[in-house]
Structure 1
């Protein structure tokens, strides 16, 4: 019943998430030193004339997801309580 009324908010949140992550990628590619690049910037340089290095992309994607998943695992109860009490 409430899904149609929050559709716009979900769309805006998805848009902001995409924009912030894309801006971070552009800043990482242009402003960091050659020897020190974030994983997201390194993942964009795996394309070559022979194709993509899928093993490297899979490993980098896994390393990128693990820290966020660990944080969410430990704070999920607090987030659920905040939603239930209307504080988030």
Structure 2
């Protein structure tokens, strides 16, 4: 059905747009940066800021988990329809 294809397309669109770390680090020149780009700057000579990394990691994972939760049935059906 069409809903399975839409679910898989939404999943891939979200996942590919969420993890564009390289482009975010190289093309963004303003102070406002995505979470993933900010997480790479937490390393210093005294170590890592673990509290900031944990908070940013949770903020990064939660939206993806929510998207997967809502489209999980459509993803399975869409992958099954597209098998060879």
TM-score (norm 1): 0.65
2:62 is aligned with 1:66: yes
Match of 1:46 among 20, 24, 42: 42
In 2, Cα distance between equivalents of 1:48 and 1:65 = 24
Match of 1:75 among 62, 71, 75: 71
In 1, Cα distance between equivalents of 2:77 and 2:27 = 39
Q: Which has the larger radius of gyration?
A: 1
Unaligned 5+ segments in structure 1 are 1-16
Unaligned 5+ segments in structure 2 are 1-14
More moved, 33-42 vs 59-68: 33-42
Q: With CA pairs under 8 Å and 6+ residues apart, which has the higher RCO, 1 or 2?
A: 2
Query: Displacement of 1:81 after TM fit?
Result: 2.1
Report the number of matched residues: 66
**What is the SS of the residue equivalent to 2:41?**
coil
Query: Displacement of 1:25 after TM fit?
Result: 1.7
2:58 is aligned with 1:56: no
Query: Displacement of 1:26 after TM fit?
Result: 2.1
Query: Displacement of 1:31 after TM fit?
Result: 1.3
Query: Displacement of 1:69 after TM fit?
Result: 0.5
